Structure 1
Amino acid sequence: MRPDLLSELFPLFNAANPDTLTSLLSAATELTYPAGRTVLMEDSWGNAIYLIVAGWIKVRHDSGGDYVTLAVLGKGDFFGEMAILDESPRSTDVVALSPVQLLSIPAQKFIDTLFQDHHLHHRMLQLMVQRLRQTNSHFERRHKPAAVKLAYTLTSLADAYGEQKDATPEIFNLAMDDLAAVADVPKDDAAKIMEKLREREWVTPSENGKTLKLKGFNHLVQLARK
Structure 2
Amino acid sequence: MTFETFRALPFFSTFPEAILRHLYDLMEKKEYPEGFTVTREGDKGDSFFVVVSGELEVRKVINRETGEYKTLARIGEKEIFGEMAVFDQTPRSADVVSLTDVTLWRITVPYLKGLLQSDPAKGADFLMAMITLLISRLRSTSKTATVLAEAGQIVSKSPDLPTLTRALFELIVREIEGSDAAVFALYNWFNNEFNVVESTENESARTFPAVFDPSDPFVFRLTKSAEPILISGGLGYTGTISSLGTEGIFAEASSLLAAPFWYGSNLFGFIVLANFLQKGAFTREHLVLLQGICNMVAPAMETFRYRSDEDARNRLLKAKGFAV
Matched, 1:35 2:41: no
The aligned counterpart of 2:25 is: 26
- CA contact under 8 A between 1:15 and 1:119: conserved in structure 2? no
Q: Mean Cα displacement is larger for which, 139-148 or 86-95?
A: 139-148
Matched, 1:58 2:57: yes
Return the offset for 1:134: 0.2
3-state SS of the aligned residue for 1:46? coil
The aligned counterpart of 1:46 is: 45
The aligned counterpart of 2:83 is: 81
Relative to structure 1, the CA distance from residue 77 to residue 171 in structure 2 (aligned partners, 3 Å threshold; closer, same or farther) is: farther
3-state SS of the aligned residue for 1:45? coil
Q: Deviations over 1:23-65 (max 9, x none)?
A: 1121111111111111111111012110011111001112243
Matched, 1:94 2:96: yes
Q: Which amino acid aligns with 1:3?
A: F
Question: Which 5+ residue runs of structure 2 have no aligned equivalent?
Answer: 152-166, 180-229, 242-257, 283-288, 290-324
The aligned counterpart of 1:207 is: none
The one of 163, 168, 172 aligned to 2:238: 172
- CA contact under 8 A between 2:261 and 2:268: conserved in structure 1? no
Relative to structure 1, the CA distance from residue 191 to residue 116 in structure 2 (aligned partners, 3 Å threshold; closer, same or farther) is: farther
Return the offset for 1:171: 5.2
The aligned counterpart of 2:69 is: 67
Higher relative contact order (CA 8 A, sep 6+): 1
CA distance in 1, matches of 2:168, 2:263: 11
Relative to structure 1, the CA distance from residue 69 to residue 216 in structure 2 (aligned partners, 3 Å threshold; closer, same or farther) is: farther
TM-score by length of 2: 0.50
CA distance in 2, matches of 1:134, 1:163: 19
Question: Which 5+ residue runs of structure 1 have no aligned equivalent?
Answer: 176-182, 204-213
TM-score by length of 1: 0.69
Between structure 1 and structure 2, the one with the greater Rg is: 2
- CA contact under 8 A between 1:57 and 1:98: conserved in structure 2? yes
CA distance in 2, matches of 1:163, 1:57: 16
The structure that is helix-richer by fraction is 1
CA distance in 1, matches of 2:136, 2:236: 23
The aligned counterpart of 2:164 is: none
Return the offset for 1:79: 0.8
The aligned counterpart of 1:6 is: 6
Identity %: 24
Q: Which amino acid aligns with 1:20?
A: I
Q: Deviations over 1:86-112 (max 9, x none)?
A: 221111111000111100011122345
Q: Deviations over 1:123-163 (max 9, x none)?
A: 2111110000001111111113554449966969xxxx965
Return the offset for 1:13: 0.7
The aligned counterpart of 2:125 is: 119
Q: Deviations over 1:161-204 (max 9, x none)?
A: 9652xxx38652568xxxxxxx9x9644996453x53xxxx56x
3-state SS of the aligned residue for 1:67? strand
Deviant stretches of 4+, over 2 Å: 1-4, 108-116, 118-121, 144-156, 161-164, 168-171, 185-194, 214-218
